[in-house]
Structure 1
Amino acid sequence: MKATKNLLSGAKTLVQKSPRDVVIVSALRTPFTKANKGGLAERAPEELLASVLDSTVKRSGLDQSAIEDVLVGTVLQTLGGQKVSASAVKAVGFPISTTVNTINRQCASSAQAISYLAASIQAGWIQAGIAAGVESMTFDYFPHRGIPTRFADSIKNSGVQEAQDVMVPMGITSESVAKKYGITREVQDQFAKASHDKAHAAVVSGHFKHEIAPVGEVVADDGVRANVSLEKLGSLKPVFAEDGVTTAGNSSQITDGASAVVLMSRQRAQELGMTPIGKFIGSVTAGVPAALMGIGPALAVPKLLKAYDLEVKDIDVFEINEAFASQSVYCMQQIAIPEEKLNPSGGAIAIGHPLGATGGRLAAAVLNNLRARNGELGVVSMCTSTGQGYAGLFVKE
């Protein structure tokens, strides 16, 4: 849903309940594991998606016939991911009446799936659906690494710099953000260490059991490290520029995974006997220079807060995707997010970033962390390739 001043606003108003609310009754993800060598590397994307959808049905007791539409965020999968997605939905028993569509807003794809599905429910077009996401970076990231192998000379030589900049590799955009805004290597490594420390603490405490659905014998993320040291991080060489500050240690991990978030009107949830765990309020997007794409949340989050008459202090948890430590640190500083409110159970530097599935993971994470902290309002945000930022607002039930 697009946020406007005509919608409900203000923290006290947003937590009130209405039959027209778009509620979330389940938010799960698979473990996120390293591409090429992790526990899910041999699983095709349709298997990953089918697994999380099957777990969603079994854990929630969902009546599959109630799901009218499934929107799947996916970035790299073959033929736009439609055949991957439709085969997975059908394989786990959803009826022919359940339709399937795919969405690609790069790293915000499954977050955008949540927004579009919520808008359909709010408009009365459907009553219930699933916003999912999937990415097997093992299968579809190499060898092009997210850069098209063909690029028309008419665009390349057009003289329009912004059109050319959408092809800039993501690691180079990280270096550009660090250089332009003075984000040092030391600060980035400290941020990366904190991501691992928080994620490891969450693993030890059992926090992730509320959001992870095992895939066969794979039950946990495999990128989270205990006792990550600044010395070790500091010894890693820059990946994208000889004199750069972006390393494998302070960047998100290339991973495989899937996610699924079930949304419906509050009235439909009551009819089905489903208990909401949260509700989705709305979202915004913001355009930024493609060569500095990582700053997207720094524009999208303030835009979201303004739309709903909120301030940073009103938000209990911020889940901002850690594409790179450089842009994460910059966004945290620009928005003035207190460290204790940002990614309380770690982020993509520790957990991983399977592009199309990340938005769903962040939705599950924000609701799980709000539950653990007894908070009410949460924000999910991420930057996206090509120069965009996304931000969505959630309420814990």
Structure 2
Amino acid sequence: MATPVIVEAVRTPIGRRGGWLSGLKAVELLRLVQVEVIRRAGIEPAEVGQIIGGCVTQAGEQSLNVTRNAWLSTGLPWSVPASTVDTSCGSAQQANHLISALIAADVIDIGIACGVESMSRVPIGVNLYQGPGHYKTRDYPWDDPPKSQFGGAERIARREGLSRADLDGYGLLSQRRAARAWAQGRFAAEVVPVDVRGGDPVPGAPAVVDRDQGVRETTPEGLAAIAPAIPDGLHTAGTISQVSDGAAAVLWMSRDRALALGLRPRAILRHQAVVGADPYFLLDGPIEATRTVLGRASLKIGDIDRYEINEAFAAVVLAWRNAYDADLDRLNVSGGAISLGHPLGASGARLLVTALHELERTDGTLALVAMCCGGSLGTAAILERC
């Protein structure tokens, strides 16, 4: 079997809903990172065997295989094929799983795994509506947005004995860590600036966006003053992932091909997993997926240097931490979806991009990336730096 390795990994900054990146279509965001990983590696675009991208709300501007449309819009060789997958929030992580597996199976020797979501332009759930108050999946309560996800997060919080103060405390930590990461320049190597002048005008947007827009000054008093997201709930806008726009991409190769091209293998997937979780709690996927991937890799949680657990809701991350007694100092050390944002179809790749750069920054070896996903799913991967 060939050994799949990561050669390049980049992401756009993440914009708020209606914010700096909202004037660009999803294809414009996604093609930027597709082109950037090729540019950084210095390879011929036609050498890419396949591209697989993640996108959750595949409707309107994000429909009809947005990954292929993004590639065609680059003007690069049309012979490179592309597919779009939907594993809910884990879509771009699953795209990386699939490209890695295709290389290991000797189907291709170069591939791009990526993801995109423009939640400003294609709001979550628009592909589910049949009319006011009606959803296509109404018979399945775990897929009835947004009630099910908020309800699942609240059930997890109460099961774990988490208080409003506990959740607010984590939201504050996420924002402070993200602000510190930007101040220290941690994201400089992974973020590709986005020129927004060619898109629809967005009042107040800079000409070139080079920072995550969701990071903000936060205080305990400010968080405590925010109303609950649902009646009698514990979560607020300060402890839930931000609705966002963004894209990310990872360039994979077989180790032999990378070395033949004079490129440095940077990381491998030690193992990967996609699992189902209890629909009553809906968002326990990271707990279940972590258990599976650690077992497959014959590792313990203490063996891992960094944990990137998607911050869909504060309770999801704190429940995962409780389940594994994980070291908070290794967990989402540069912030997460609460502070940086969560463009659904891009976040799985964004987490891998950030995990790789964090391992390189700290001379670490292993990172765990795990996500909760709609439909009661969980994704997890163990990234091992070469």
What SS does structure 2 have at the residue aligned with 1:50? helix
- Say which of 224, 239, 253 aligns to 1:264: 253
Q: Which residue in the other structure is 1:9 paired with?
A: none
- Say which of 203, 212, 216 aligns to 2:182: 203
Taking the aligned partners of 1:166 and 1:391, their CA distance within structure 2 comes to 21
- Say which of 258, 272, 278 aligns to 1:283: 272
Q: Which residue in the other structure is 1:187 paired with?
A: 166
Taking the aligned partners of 2:39 and 2:71, their CA distance within structure 1 comes to 14
User: Deviation of residue 181 (structure 1)?
Assistant: 2.4
Answering whether residue 89 of structure 2 is matched by residue 107 of structure 1, we say yes
Taking the aligned partners of 1:337 and 1:269, their CA distance within structure 2 comes to 35
Cα deviations by residue, 1:57-79 (Å, 9 ceiling, x for unpaired): 22232321210100010011326
Task: Mark the CA change 1:329 to 1:146 in structure 2 (over 3 Å): closer, same or farther.
Answer: farther
Task: Mark the CA change 1:70 to 1:371 in structure 2 (over 3 Å): closer, same or farther.
Answer: same
Taking the aligned partners of 1:259 and 1:370, their CA distance within structure 2 comes to 18
**Aligned pair count?**
368
Contact 1:290/1:385 (<8 A) preserved: no
User: Deviation of residue 82 (structure 1)?
Assistant: 3.6
Cα deviations by residue, 1:331-386 (Å, 9 ceiling, x for unpaired): 11112210011111111000000000001100011111111111101111000011
Task: Mark the CA change 1:291 to 1:141 in structure 2 (over 3 Å): closer, same or farther.
Answer: farther
Q: Which residue in the other structure is 2:42 paired with?
A: 61
- Say which of 219, 230, 250 aligns to 2:220: 230
What SS does structure 2 have at the residue aligned with 1:322? coil
With normalisation by structure 1, the TM-score equals 0.89
Answering whether residue 222 of structure 2 is matched by residue 243 of structure 1, we say no
- Counterpart AA for 1:219: D
What SS does structure 2 have at the residue aligned with 1:43? coil
Answering whether residue 31 of structure 2 is matched by residue 41 of structure 1, we say no
- Counterpart AA for 1:20: A
Taking the aligned partners of 1:90 and 1:272, their CA distance within structure 2 comes to 25
Answering whether residue 5 of structure 2 is matched by residue 29 of structure 1, we say no
Task: Name stretches of at least 5 consecutive residues in structure 1 with no aligned partner.
Answer: 1-18, 157-162
User: Deviation of residue 182 (structure 1)?
Assistant: 1.7
Taking the aligned partners of 1:219 and 1:168, their CA distance within structure 2 comes to 32
Answering whether residue 241 of structure 2 is matched by residue 252 of structure 1, we say yes
Contact 2:365/2:385 (<8 A) preserved: yes
Q: Which residue in the other structure is 1:308 paired with?
A: 297
Cα deviations by residue, 1:277-311 (Å, 9 ceiling, x for unpaired): 21122211221122412211111102111111100
Task: Mark the CA change 1:193 to 1:375 in structure 2 (over 3 Å): closer, same or farther.
Answer: same
Q: Which residue in the other structure is 1:357 paired with?
A: 346
- Say which of 372, 380, 387 aligns to 2:376: 387
Cα deviations by residue, 1:101-149 (Å, 9 ceiling, x for unpaired): 000000000000000111111011111100010000011116x468544
Contact 1:74/1:81 (<8 A) preserved: no
Q: Which residue in the other structure is 1:78 paired with?
A: 59
Q: Which residue in the other structure is 1:125 paired with?
A: 107
What SS does structure 2 have at the residue aligned with 1:283? strand
- Counterpart AA for 2:223: L
Q: Which residue in the other structure is 1:167 paired with?
A: 144
- Counterpart AA for 1:196: Q
Answering whether residue 94 of structure 2 is matched by residue 94 of structure 1, we say no
With normalisation by structure 2, the TM-score equals 0.91
Higher mean alpha-carbon deviation, 131-140 vs 179-188, is at 179-188
Higher mean alpha-carbon deviation, 106-115 vs 75-84, is at 75-84
User: Deviation of residue 168 (structure 1)?
Assistant: 5.0
Answering whether residue 120 of structure 2 is matched by residue 141 of structure 1, we say no
Task: Mark the CA change 1:52 to 1:320 in structure 2 (over 3 Å): closer, same or farther.
Answer: same
Task: Name stretches of at least 5 consecutive residues in structure 2 with no aligned partner.
Answer: 196-207
Taking the aligned partners of 1:121 and 1:264, their CA distance within structure 2 comes to 7
Q: Which residue in the other structure is 2:212 paired with?
A: 221
User: Deviation of residue 152 (structure 1)?
Assistant: 5.8
User: Deviation of residue 271 (structure 1)?
Assistant: 1.8
Taking the aligned partners of 1:146 and 1:292, their CA distance within structure 2 comes to 24
**Which structure's residues are more often helix, by fraction?**
1
Taking the aligned partners of 2:39 and 2:254, their CA distance within structure 1 comes to 21
- Counterpart AA for 1:59: R
Taking the aligned partners of 1:140 and 1:323, their CA distance within structure 2 comes to 19
- Counterpart AA for 1:307: R
Contact 1:259/1:360 (<8 A) preserved: yes
